[in-house]
């Protein structure tokens, strides 16, 4: 029995610590990052890019990964 196709998935990251008034926006095919200080935005960007690299290495697309697995990958890929 064929399973129905899953809807496209998209990650959204929001940084709330911006005090310099600069508007930051980084977009990719399956993600959008908005706001945050320069440091926070850079950390979000690094985390998301590493997460997509991990998914590619595992042979999975964002819509194929379970929420728990995605949370683990995101947590593991956060810069210290």
Mean pLDDT by 10 residues, the chain (80 residues): 74 95 96 97 97 97 96 94
Is pTM beyond 0.75? Reply is yes
Residue at token pair 């690094």: 46
pLDDT at 80: 79
Helices (H) and strands (E) in the chain, counts: 2, 3
What are the φ/ψ torsions at residue 33 (nearest 5 degrees)? -120, 130
Cα separation, 76 vs 79, whole angstroms: 8
């Amino acid at each position: 029995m064929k399973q129905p196709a899953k809807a496209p998935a998209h990650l959204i990251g929001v940084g709330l610590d911006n005090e310099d008034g600069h508007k930051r926006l980084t977009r990719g095919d399956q993600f959008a990052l908005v706001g945050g200080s320069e440091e926070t935005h850079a950390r979000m960007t690094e985390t998301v890019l590493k997460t997509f690299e991990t998914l590619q290495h595992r042979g999975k697309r964002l819509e194929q990964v379970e929420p728990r697995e995605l949370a683990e990958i995101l947590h593991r890929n956060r810069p210290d």
